[in-house]
Structure formats: structure tokens, C-alpha cells
Amino acid sequence: MALTFVGVILGIFALAKSEFSLAGKSVYFVVVDRFARSGTQALNTTYCDLAADWINNTGGGYCGGTLSGIIDRLDYIEGMGFDCIWITPVVDSNGFMGYDAVNIFEIEPHFGSKEDFKRLSQKLHERSMCLILDIVLNHMRPLVVNGEVNLSTIVPFNHESHYNQRNRSNNQSFEEYLISWPPPPFNPSEDNQRLQTLKMTGELDCGHHVADHTECACFPGNIGFSCPSLIAEDFTTGYLGVLGDLNHSNPFVRRTLLTWVREMVQNYSLDALRLDTAIYLDRDFLPEVQEVAGVQVLGEATVNNLTFQASLMHGEAQSGLLGLLNFPPFYQLPRAFCGYRMGGDFGDYSLQGTWYEEADMEGLGSVLSLQLSSSMHLGNSNLDMMGNFADNHDEFSRLTYYCRYDSLRIRQALVWVFLSRGIPILYYGTEQGLDGHQGPENSKGQDNLRESMWHTGYRTDTWQYRFIQRLNKLRKDFGVGVGDAKIRQTSKTTLVFSRETTKAGTIWVFLNNAKNATEKEGQIYCPGPGSGHGLRGRWFDALSGKPMNRYFKAGCFQAPDRNPKVLFRGRHVP
């Protein structure tokens, strides 16, 4: 689809937005329904973790969070030092998360009104903060509700031609096709068994040291010899089962969605977008979305293939999105700091949600090294547009739980999120120690990760709130934003990297995965800042404020304890 006409329409608007960039910003991620109630309901602090109905597909699960509630708590968010908030979809939807739209042209009544949404945008901009809206272009609500098919209530996509119908037989009615459920686009069990055999025989390698397959499992994105049944065209035409998978080859669907994106950005003065399920959209649709938006788009790309990840990004030789959520290192992070199994090797999820005997940093370090060092993957500027995170609303467990409430390990992980190259993203409630997680004892699936906030009282004196506040202040004081990063050393127990900053020169970050009980023990990191070229100037730890030169020995940094360290050269700590 040619975008010449669209480009002319955007003209001045795109130019006005072009100076803003998410690169260098820090982001607080809010589930609208679970963050803050408003009005008289704000007095009701009863804990709520209702689940949506995914058996009969009736949705629901609303706990009472609103857009006005977010406005009332902006002091709380800004107090941690965040530049932006990212909110879940606000369109009229089937369920409380908003990812199953019923009418894309209306605001979900449970959340408020169009005026409330505009007011949120305005209040953020008055604080020089930015607003990121989550949008869904891949699908609508489930097409089968309570065992019946009814498209008439879906706006504007109310005709069967608006939806993909992969593998529908000639003698099937649309209703029969939907109720029988189309088969999945690939067979992960068969592919994973084959992958395991190839790995064992040495015919194929996978794991954190392999750029095209950083996890030994067949995900969308691992296409070709290693996972042969996964064909790109198949998972863009009906991967998510019962959800109404939109057909982007339909001119009405494509045109309507692009117009809607443009108008949402304009009508609500949005600063950026987060694009849900980006890998399930037609590849040639992504650059059209990016262009028509006129603002940066962060795509959700749940892949473990660095080459495939890079292929989704805009670059000199290709069109694509300007940003992505950075899943390859995220998949390594829970094991690195806390020894937690977020997934399952070769598709075996029987141990998912349990812990290894020991944590291991090598996987995270390897993936980061591959991502940072190879021009085959992400271009230099694109690295600044990768969203880094330790947990989210989908992935099995919150940080507090998977680190077993160990404050030392949680702090190590948070330092990585806030100081590694990219855009740091914090999932709401981390600062209050929310510990939602999936597991055999929890029957609500992903909704276990989406608990309410109001019962916490929005305390600003928790250690987590103050630590995050400190990290955001450090970012601003040192000018930690865009700029180079280098992995200096990785071992099973340690990770050392450096960042180039605009105000403090090169800073060195020293992390480990020791437990709370060993916090006061020393930790040796090699190399240290002075190795190879001599040590000059006075070095301080930005987190403790203490001088560190006395701990530099024989090219190593022999830290006096196991707390995370952020070392810089200067006269004092800002």
C-alpha cells in the first residue's frame, strides 16, 4: 500500500513530533484497571485480582481502576523520577486488560471518557512527562462468545471477510470454522523434539551463545532449519486462536486501522505507541504503521532470535518499527539474577515457575554481548530504542516473586534494567513489592500478574520506591540515556558493563547474583576500570557515595561488599 498520500497528510504533524524521542527516557508501565480508582471508589482499598473469563470468552474482570485515578497519582509516579507512563489499551473492550477490543472508536466506559483520556495527556505534558498508549492492530475480541458467533457488535470489523481464515475448508461455514477452532500454525512439540535431537547429535546448536537461537525452544521468529514447521505467513494469519485475527490484506481493514492510528495520536496528543503482538502482523504492514503514526512505535516482539528481532527494526536498508521491547535478554534475566525458570528448554514447561539450584549470569551476558557487538543485529541507534524490563503483565512471574523476595538480588536486576543500554521500563507495583505469579496453586493464569495497587497505599517510603527514585536520579545526574555500552566481563556469578554518559564520562556497573545473606562479603570483579591503561582520578560508587580507589588491585575491582556498584570518576557524588 503506497503511503504518499498519508505522508502528505501527516506533514506538519510528523515534523512537530519528530524532535521527541523515547531514547534516554525511563517508563512506568500501568495496567489501567488495576492501578488507581477515582471518585468515591478511591476510598475502597480492598485488594482485587479478578480474572477475565477465557472459558466462555465473556471477558470482564474489572476491578475499578480509571484514567482519572492515574491522574490523581501522577505525583506518586513523578516522585520516582519517571519521564513517561505507558498505559494498557483504553478502547471499548471485552475484558479489563483492553487487548480484546469491541469498538476501537470508543473509550472503555469502566476507565472513563474521551475527555478523561485527553485530560491525562494534558496533565502529563504539563509536567513535561510523556504518554505511551498500548494499541492492538492484530486482533479484536473473541469471535465466539458463550458458544455463539456474533460479529454485529464488533465495531467496525463486523464481517467475516475482515478476519483471517487460515485452513478453512470449502464446505465449512464461517461459524463452523470458528467453533471448531483452526489448528495452530505450527507444531511446537514436534519442532522442539527435533531441535533437541539435533542439539544432542551436534547437527545444530542453540542457546545464549547463538544469535539466531538464544533459547533452545521453538518460538515464532525461529524460522527455517531449526524449527521447520513454523512458517512466517502462517502465524501472521491466525496464530492467536479464538481471538478475531484481523485480515490486513483486506483494504477496508488496513485503511481503517491506519487512519485510526493516526487519529488516536492526533486526538490525544500521544507521544509514542506500544504495538501489541507485532510479530503476528504482516511484515509489510509494520512500516506503514510506523509512518502513519508520526511518533515512535515500540513493538512487542516475543522472540529469542536476534537476527529476526533486528529485521523488524527500521534501518538504512529496510523499513520497520523504530523501537522494540527487548525480549532476548529478558528471557535470560530471571535465571541470571535469581535462578528462576521463566520458560522451558525444548518446549518442556513442566518445570516452569521453579528455580535452578543456582543462578547463572552467563546467558544474560552472552546475549547482551551478541546484541551490542554485532552490526548484523541491531544498528547503533536502534540499541537506544530497545525497551528493557525485568517483568511484565504476561510472563509468568513478577520480579519480587521470582527473586524470592531477596532485596539484594532485586536491586541487582533493577540496576541492570535502569542502566543497560535502552529504555528502562518498570512494571507498576514493583516499587511496592507486588508478587503476582502463575503456578499450580494459581488458577487465574496471566491475570495473577495483574493485581490491584490501591491496597498498598501508594507508599513512598518503601525501599523499592526509594531505590528506583535513586536510579532515575542517577540517570539524570550522569546523563545516562543514549550512548555506547560494553560488556566488560561475564561469569556465572558476575556481570560487568560500562556506559558512556553525557555528564560523567564512562561509568562502570558491577552486578552479581549473591543472596541477601552474603551481602556484607566482598566480591572480586575482573577487570576493573583501571585495567590495561592505568588508573587516573578518584572513583566513587554512585549508589553508596563512597570512594572506591582503595579497592582497585591488580587490574581488578575487589568490592568491599556484594551490593551493586556504579562507579564513576569525579570529585563527588551528585
* Residues carrying an active site annotation: 276, 300
Residue type at position 28: Y
Task: Give the Cα separation of 430 and 415 in Å (integer).
Answer: 13
Give residue for cell 470449502.
Answer: 170
| Distance separating the N- and C-terminal Cα atoms of the chain | 52
Beta bridge partners of 132: 86, 272
Residues contacting residue 176 through CB under 8 Å, at least 6 positions apart: none
Is 320 in contact with 287 (CB distance < 8 Å)? yes
Is 61 in contact with 50 (CB distance < 8 Å)? yes
Task: Give the Cα separation of 214 and 544 in Å (integer).
Answer: 35
Instruction: Residue 89: name the closest of 58, 110, 63, 115 by CA.
Output: 110
Instruction: Residue 41: name the closest of 62, 15, 16, 18 by CA.
Output: 62
Burial of 135 (0-12, 13-18, 19+ CB in 10 A): buried
Q: Is 234 annotated as a binding residue?
A: no
Count the alpha carbons within 13 Å of 388 in the hemisphere toward its beta carbon: 25
Q: Is 37 annotated as a binding residue?
A: no
Structure-block grid coordinates of residue 145? 462468545
Burial of 515 (0-12, 13-18, 19+ CB in 10 A): middle
Q: Is 274 annotated as a binding residue?
A: yes
In angstroms, what CA-CA distances link 372 with 106, 205, 306, 339?
42, 21, 11, 24
Task: Give the Cα separation of 368 and 329 in Å (integer).
Answer: 6
In angstroms, what CA-CA distances link 403 with 28, 80, 398?
20, 22, 9
Radius of gyration, alpha carbons of the chain:
24
Question: What's the full length of the chain, in residues?
Answer: 574
Task: Give the Cα separation of 477 and 552 in Å (integer).
Answer: 25
Residues contacting residue 115 through CB under 8 Å, at least 6 positions apart: none
Residues contacting residue 161 through CB under 8 Å, at least 6 positions apart: 247, 250
- Secondary structure class of 568 (helix, strand, coil): strand
Instruction: Residue 246: name the closest of 157, 373, 377 by CA.
Output: 157
Run of H or E residues at 123: helix 114-126
Structure-block grid coordinates of residue 324? 522494540
Q: What is the largest CA-CA distance in the chain?
A: 79
Phi and psi at residue 17, in whole multiples of 5°? Answer: -85, -15
Q: Is 282 annotated as a binding residue?
A: no
Residue spans of beta strands (DSSP E) within 398-541: 423-427, 485-490, 494-500, 506-512, 523-525, 539-541
Instruction: Residue 310: name the closest of 375, 252, 213 by CA.
Output: 375
Residue ranges of the binding site for substrate: 139, 274, 394, 450
Residue ranges of the binding site: 139, 274, 394, 450
